[in-house]
C-alpha cells in the first residue's frame, strides 16, 4: 500500500496518508511504544472533519496545499 508520512510527533507517534488497492485514501496513526496506544486507521474525510485538530491535521493540509501549488506552476 502506498503511504506518505504526514507528521511525527515529539512523543514518536506517526501519521501516514495511505491508499489501498481499491483506491481508498485514509490516515493511519501509529503510536509510539512510549505512548502505549493502539494504532488506528480512519477515512480521509473523517480525519479532516474531526472537531479536535492538531499538528497532524495542519501537516496534512500543508501537504494537500503543496500538491495544488505544483499543479499551478
Q: What is the pLDDT of residues 12-64, one digit of tens each?
A: 999 999 999 999 999 999 999 888 889 999 999 999 998 878 999 999 999 98
Written as nine digits, the cell of 48 is 479532516
C-alpha cell at 47: 480525519
Residue 72: the pLDDT is 63
Q: Would you state the pLDDT for residue 20? A: 94
Closest to 19 (Cα-Cα) out of 41, 40, 49, 48: 41
Instruction: Look at residue 33 in the predicted model and tell me its pLDDT.
Output: 87
Give the total residue count for the chain.
Answer: 73
Q: What is the pTM (predicted TM-score) of this model? A: 0.84
CA angle 23, 72, 21 (to 5 degrees): 10
Amino acid at each position: 500500500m502506498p503511504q506518505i508520512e504526514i507528521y511525527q510527533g515529539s512523543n514518536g507517534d506517526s501519521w501516514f496518508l495511505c491508499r489501498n488497492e481499491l483506491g481508498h485514501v485514509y490516515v493511519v496513526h501509529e503510536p509510539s511504544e512510549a505512548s502505549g496506544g493502539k494504532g488506528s486507521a480512519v477515512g480521509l474525510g473523517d480525519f479532516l472533519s474531526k472537531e479536535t485538530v492538531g499538528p497532524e491535521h495542519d501537516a496534512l493540509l500543508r501537504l494537500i496545499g503543496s500538491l495544488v501549488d505544483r499543479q499551478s506552476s
